[in-house]
Amino acid sequence: MKRRLTRNAILMAIVTLIMGIGLSLYIASTGTVPAADNAASYTDGTYTASAHGCLSDVAVTVTITGGKVTDVDIDASGETPELGGNAAAALAEQLTEAGTTTGVDAVAGATMTSDAVFTAMDDCLSQAQ
């Protein structure tokens, strides 16, 4: 009985280790778009666009330096601060890293604000092409 319990514990540990390795490999291969993929070449400058969010217009200002997105500023001051305001801060960082809206997910609870940010960002990038 004791041997059987020890054998089962060892088998469980091995299976857990294999599942952990598999999960790590899966996560590594399906991660978000890395900053190095910010490879599209745009005309340097500062571009601004806006789109309607949940309660107001959301303005996005994109700065392009060296043909790449170097800064994204989002003005969602007319949106609900706890939702749209927090979404704007999170999305600004993610969009700057990605250099595009591709691979960036909307913020839960602020879908309308996120969609407005994505629309305005795409408009800015269109202006820069």
Q: What is the CATH number of the domain that holds 87?
A: 3.90.1010.20
Closest CA to 90 of 119, 115, 114: 114
Tokens standing for 125? 């990038």
Residues 22 and 49 in one domain: no
Of 13-17, 27-31, 78-82, 117-121, the range with the lowest mean pLDDT is 27-31
Mean pLDDT, residues 50-72 = 92
Residues 83 and 106 in one domain: yes
* Number of domains the chain contains: 2
Residues 21 and 40 in one domain: no
Residues 78 and 48 in one domain: yes
* pTM of the predicted structure, to 2 decimals: 0.67
Residues 13 and 68 in one domain: no
Q: Which residue range(s) make up the domain with 17?
A: 1-31
* Terminal Cα-to-Cα distance of the chain (whole angstroms): 72
Task: Give CA separation, 26 vs 20, 22, 30, 31, in Å.
Answer: 10, 6, 6, 9
Q: What is the pLDDT of residues 23-57, one digit of tens each?
A: 777 777 766 444 444 456 889 999 999 999 888 89
Angle at the Cα of 101 from the Cα atoms of 79 and 99, rounded to 5 degrees = 110
- Average pLDDT in the chain: 85
Residues 105 and 77 in one domain: yes
